[in-house]
């Protein structure tokens, strides 16, 4: 089938092409789309070169799916134009996530909400995706009351400019700054802009998106999100309070059998999730699983996933795979 990738030349767009190829998604014709300055450039997909086109040419080509990784403003302006042409949009920006008329999907958690009528589907925030993949089986069994999460997020979540800033600082080279402060040998407790309540936009995304994806308004989430000088994935220290008590052996078993989750929790052999080992993997890794001894029915764990893959590209491609499998596409 014809597949358009909007924002094909960016960090996530490039990863999207890689994941589409690796997972052997049925692409008969790729339509790479980017801003005017990139039109005419070439991107490579499965050994073949494709010229980057503008959005009008992409819509005229009538792809079955358009995967957007081009920022919120572009998505708000262009996604409805694609949708009006009968093209199913999977959008990686924050533009549509909290729109009550749009589905916010992590396939392992809530793919069943999708229908053929859903023409704009939102891909959640990277840090939310990896957390809810672990939370869902636990919520189904023990019912989650409250989640306290602190994140340790990779510079790749900001984009190419941030990766370059980190690498420049490592080499002692002056260069363009993606952040207000140096990132190498530092931790910056701000991701996205601050809101009136003192939280950042990223922190509130985690709070609201978790509730929407899991589908339970009673789950309370409070987050602190931090940027650290790391590549390869986001890490999260997560404290989960349940309504009901749990058995640790049973809980581990539950996570071991959960789709998309890999338990790495062998402290005797120093095995636990790390960005270094999660890099370029599609799964979400969980470890340091232990009871919170300070209060009842509460668990501590450590969750790591590659933010460009499961946190963005892989999740979007998995949504596309589900749409194909269930026959929910129009221009197929």
Task: Report d(CA 193, CA 298) in Å as an integer.
Answer: 31
Q: Which residues contact 196 (CB under 8 A, 6 or more apart)?
A: none
Are 261 and 283 spatial neighbours (Cβ–Cβ below 8 Å)? Answer: yes
Q: Which residues contact 264 (CB under 8 A, 6 or more apart)?
A: 271, 272, 273, 277, 285, 286, 287
Residue 279 among the catalytic residues? no
- Sheet strands side by side (includes 234-242): 220-227, 144-153, 234-242, 298-305, 284-291, 261-263
Tell me how many helices (H) and strands (E) the chain has: 10, 14
Task: Report d(CA 287, CA 265) in Å as an integer.
Answer: 4
Q: In sequence order, which ranges of 61-185 are alpha helices (DSSP H)?
A: 72-84, 107-110, 126-142, 160-171
Residue 234 among the catalytic residues? yes
Question: What are the angstrom distances between the C-alpha of 295 and each of 36, 81, 201?
Answer: 56, 51, 29
Are 319 and 111 spatial neighbours (Cβ–Cβ below 8 Å)? Answer: yes
At 222, is the secondary structure helix, strand, or coil? strand
Let me know if 306 is exposed, middle or buried by CB neighbors in 10 A (0-12, 13-18, 19+): buried
Task: Give the CA-trace dihedral at 131, 136, 141, 147, to 10 degrees.
Answer: 40
At 304, is the secondary structure helix, strand, or coil? strand
| Residue in 139, 234, 279, 301 annotated catalytic | 234
Which tokens belong to 73? 């403003």
Backbone angles phi and psi of 302, in degrees to 5: -130, 120
Catalytic amino acids?
126, 234
């Amino acid at each position: 089938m014809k597949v358009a990738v909007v924002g094909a030349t960016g960090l996530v767009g490039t990863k999207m092409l890689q994941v589409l190829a690796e997972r052997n998604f049925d692409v008969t014709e790729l339509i790479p789309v980017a801003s005017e300055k990139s039109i005419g450039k070439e991107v490579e997909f499965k050994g073949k070169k494709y010229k980057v086109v503008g959005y009008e040419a992409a819509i005229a080509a009538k792809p079955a799916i358009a995967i957007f990784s081009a920022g919120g403003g572009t998505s708000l302006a262009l996604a409805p134009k694609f949708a009006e042409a009968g093209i199913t949009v999977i959008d990686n920006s924050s533009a549509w996530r909290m729109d009550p008329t749009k589905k916010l999907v992590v396939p392992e958690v809530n793919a069943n909400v999708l229908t053929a009528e859903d023409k704009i589907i939102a891909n959640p925030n990277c840090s939310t995706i990896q957390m809810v993949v672990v939370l869902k089986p636990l919520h189904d069994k023990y019912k989650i009351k409250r989640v306290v999460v602190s994140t340790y997020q990779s510079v790749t979540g900001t984009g190419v400019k941030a990766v370059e800033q980190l690498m420049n600082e490592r080499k002692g080279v002056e260069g363009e700054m993606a952040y207000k402060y140096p990132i190498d040998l530092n931790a910056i407790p701000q991701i996205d802009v601050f809101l009136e309540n003192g939280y950042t936009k990223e922190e509130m995304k985690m709070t609201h998106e978790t509730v929407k994806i899991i589908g339970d308004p009673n789950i309370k989430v409070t987050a602190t999100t931090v940027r650290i000088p790391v590549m390869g994935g986001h890490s999260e220290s997560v404290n989960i309070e349940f309504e009901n008590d749990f058995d640790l052996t049973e809980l581990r078993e539950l996570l071991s059998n959960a789709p998309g989750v890999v338990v790495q929790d062998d402290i005797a052999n120093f095995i636990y999730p790390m960005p270094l080992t999660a890099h370029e993997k599609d799964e979400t890794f969980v470890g340091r699983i232990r009871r919170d001894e300070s209060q009842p029915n509460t668990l501590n764990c450590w969750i790591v996933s590659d933010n460009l893959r499961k946190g963005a590209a892989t999740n979007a491609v998995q949504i596309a795979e589900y749409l194909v499998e269930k026959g929910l596409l129009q221009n197929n």
